[in-house]
Structure 1
Amino acid sequence: MSQQDPSAAPHDDRPRGDPWHAFGYVVSGVAFYGFLGWLLDRWLGTDYIVAIGIIFGAGLGIYLTFSRFNRALPPDSSHDQHEQN
């Protein structure tokens, strides 16, 4: 009977695709930049900067989500050595 060594299994350093992380990035961006836009609206006497802040925050949250979950993995040198043998 053969047993596999758990330390020999390939280690994947990519973050897992947890939807709560993506949700947190987008909601945090909308809340933070929407609040900053609201503060600027109150200070400047306008009523459109909050919408710009919400859109910018959502875009930044989506960007952070893609940059986190689409990170390129470094080449695995041990995998290349096994293919050469």
Structure 2
Amino acid sequence: MSQQEPSAGPQGERPKGDPWHAFGYIVSGVAIYGFLGWLVDRWLETEFVVAIGIIFGAALGIYLTFSRFNRAQPSDQK
């Protein structure tokens, strides 16, 4: 009996993205930039930079998710 690799599929089929990667990008962006915003808030004695950091981190996580899972496939030039 021969065994196929689980990742082997029909030729030209695009690999599907793991939803946990997308979740990880967004959550880590919010956590890291929210924390950096909180540090800047403590340093400057303000209260709004943490919100900007959270929004920026979420936007960056969504961008990274989009860019990772929507890569163009190489065209077959024969």
TM-score under structure 1 length normalisation: 0.74
Deviation at 1:16, TM superposition (A): 2.3
Larger of the two Rg values belongs to structure = 1
| d(CA) in 1 for partners of 2:16, 2:35 | 30
Q: Name structure 2 gaps, 5 residues minimum.
A: 1-7
Q: Which residue in 1 is equivalent to 2:30?
A: 30
Q: Indicate the SS of the match to 1:16.
A: coil
Counterparts of 1:15 and 1:61, CA distance in 2 = 20
Runs of 4 or more, structure 1, over 6 Å off, are: none
Higher helix share: 1
Instruction: Give the fraction of aligned pairs with identical amino acids, expressed as a percent.
Output: 74
| CA contact 1:15–1:68 (8 Å) conserved in 2 | no
Counterpart-to-counterpart distance in 2, 1:54 and 1:16: 28
Q: Does 2:20 correspond to 1:17? A: no
Give the TM-score of the pair, scaled to structure 2: 0.81
